[in-house]
Structure 1
């Protein structure tokens, strides 16, 4: 199997359909969360909505690069989200995230393996491999937070 196919599958596992590492994934954890639960603030913790927005922000931003665009996202804006007002707003965010995640995984699969070793946008960011692995690791980190917040609710 191509390296890019393996990495794309690892990404799908954390967001869309896997249970190997964390015994869950975003789609599974968020499927039964209402917009009220997603918006509920517990102490100083981020809300489930904010964490979901945050991960989708990075998926969309890196996807733009994978599709040939510029790196337009900035860390300082990754939590800049207005609240949600309805279940429809929440479901729109989730559907956008699932769509972006599938496009992201497909873009990885279509890459030749040697692209993984190339510089990602600027030398300071490392390689494509480093950035995709970072996306997977970052996603697992926040998946753990969402799982715990969900239990606290």
Structure 2
């Protein structure tokens, strides 16, 4: 299996449908979360909604680059979640994450393996491989947080 296909599989595992590393994924963890739970603040922790927005912010930003656009995302905006005040707004946020994640994986599958060694946007960001690996690790990090916050809420 090519490198890009393996990476796309790993990415889908953490966000959409896998059980291998964490025995869960974003879609599974968020499937039974209500908008009230998603927006409940526990101490100084980010809310589940904030973490969902945050991870989608980066996925959507990389999709934009994969599609030939500029790298427009900035860390300082990555938690700028608009208010979530209804179940519909929460479901819209989730659907955006699922769609952006599938688009990310599909675009990754279409890349040649040789792209993985190319510089990502600017030399300071390293290679495509480094950034895609980083995205997968970033997803697992926040998946763990969401899982723990869910336990605190119950």
TM-score by length of 2: 0.99
Unaligned runs of 5+ in 2: none
How much has 1:32 moved relative to structure 2? Answer: 0.2
Q: Which residue of 1 aligns with 2:33?
A: 33
Q: Residues of 1 paired with 2:107 and 2:86: CA distance?
A: 32
Q: Give me the CA root mean square deviation.
A: 0.4
4+ runs deviating over 6 angstroms = none
Residue aligning to 1:121 = 121
Q: Which ranges in structure 1 are unaligned for 5 or more consecutive residues?
A: none
1:116 positional shift: 0.4
Could you list the per-position Cα deviations for residues 113-141 of structure 1 after superposition, in whole angstroms to 9, with x for gaps in the alignment? 00000000000000000000000000000
Distance of 2:144 and 2:64 partners within structure 1: 26
Q: Within the alignment, does 1:80 sit opposite 2:80 as a pair? A: yes
Tell me, what secondary structure is at the counterpart of 1:11?
Answer: helix
Aligned position for 2:96:
96
Cα drift, residue 83 of structure 1: 1.8
TM-score (norm 1): 0.99
**Where does residue 134 of structure 1 map in the other structure?**
134
Task: Provide, for residues 90-135 of structure 1, a one-character-per-residue CA deviation record: whole Å limited to 9, x for no partner.
Answer: 0000001000000000000000000000000000000000000000
